C-alpha cells in the first residue's frame, strides 16, 4: 500500500509523540524509513536513542533507520527523487534537528545564526511540501513553558515556534499528543 500525505505530530516531552508517529506510519504504509536527528553526546542521550531503537526492533514492521542530524532537507529531496518509489518517512525529531542547525551556526553570531535558521526552515518546509510519499514529522511544543533565562535558549524557543508554524502550514494533518492521547488539530479538510 502506497500512501501520500504530510503529517506533523507535536506535543510536550514524553507525551507519546514518537510512539504515535510510528503507529500511524505502520497503519498507513507497508514499510517505513525512520530518520533520526539525535546525536549521542552523552550516556543519557545514548539511552534515549537505545529505547527508541528497541521499540522499532521489537516490532514486526519493516523499519529502515537513517541518521541525519543536519542535512535533513537534502535527505528528503534525495529520497523524493524517485517519485514512484519514495518511502514512507518518520522524522524524529525536528526540534533536535533545529538545535543541531542552531549550534552549528552559533559561532557565526546571532544575526548569521538566525539567517541560517530561516534558510534551513524554509528549505525543510519546501522539501516536506514536495515530498511525493507519506511523511510524518515529530516535533516538540517548547513555547508553553518558562521563558529561558539565557539568549540562546530564547532564540531556540522562538525559532522552534516559527518552525512548527511553518511546517503546520504545509502539512495536511497536525496532531497534538498529550498524555499519550493524540488529538487531531488540523485535518485534510481544514480550511481557514
Q: Which sequence positions are flagged as catalytic? A: 52
Q: Could you give the C-alpha distances from 34 to 17, 40, 155, in angstroms and in order?
A: 14, 16, 28
Give the burial string for 122-134 (b: 16+ CB within 10 Å, else e): ebbbebbeebebb
Closest by CA position to 16, among listed 139, 143, 145, 179? 179
End-to-end CA distance of the chain: 31
The separation between CA 42 and the C-alpha centre of its own chain, rounded to angstroms, equals 21
Tell me: cis bond preceding 93? Omega within 30 of 0 counts: yes
Angle at 43 between CA 99 and CA 24, to 5 degrees: 60
How many Cα atoms are found within 13 Å in the side-chain-facing hemisphere of 134?
21
Amino acid at each position: 500500500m502506497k500512501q501520500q500525505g504530510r503529517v506533523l505530530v507535536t506535543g510536550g516531552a514524553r507525551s507519546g509523540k514518537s510512539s504515535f508517529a510510528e503507529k500511524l506510519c505502520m497503519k498507513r504504509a507497508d514499510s517505513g524509513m525512520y530518520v533520526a536527528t539525535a546525536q549521542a553526546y552523552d550516556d543519557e542521550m545514548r539511552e534515549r536513542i537505545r529505547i527508541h531503537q528497541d521499540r522499532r526492533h521489537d516490532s514486526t514492521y519493516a523499519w529502515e533507520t537513517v541518521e541525519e542530524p543536519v542535512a535533513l532537507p537534502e535527505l528528503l529531496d534525495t529520497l523524493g527523487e524517485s517519485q514512484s518509489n519514495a518511502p514512507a518517512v518518520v522524522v524524529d525529531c525536528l526540534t533536535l534537528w533545529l538545535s543541531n542547525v542552531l549550534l552549528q551556526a552559533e559561532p557565526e553570531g546571532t544575526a548569521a545564526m538566525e539567517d541560517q535558521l530561516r534558510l534551513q526552515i524554509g528549505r525543510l518546509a519546501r522539501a516536506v511540501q514536495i515530498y511525493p510519499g507519506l511523511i510524518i514529522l515529530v516535533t516538540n511544543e517548547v513555547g508553553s513553558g518558562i521563558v529561558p533565562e539565557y539568549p540562546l535558549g530564547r532564540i531556540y524557543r522562538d525559532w522552534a515556534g516559527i518552525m512548527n508554524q511553518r511546517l503546520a502550514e504545509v502539512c495536511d494533518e497536525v496532531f497534538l499528543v498529550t498524555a499519550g492521547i493524540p488529538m487531531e488539530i488540523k485535518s485534510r479538510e481544514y480550511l481557514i
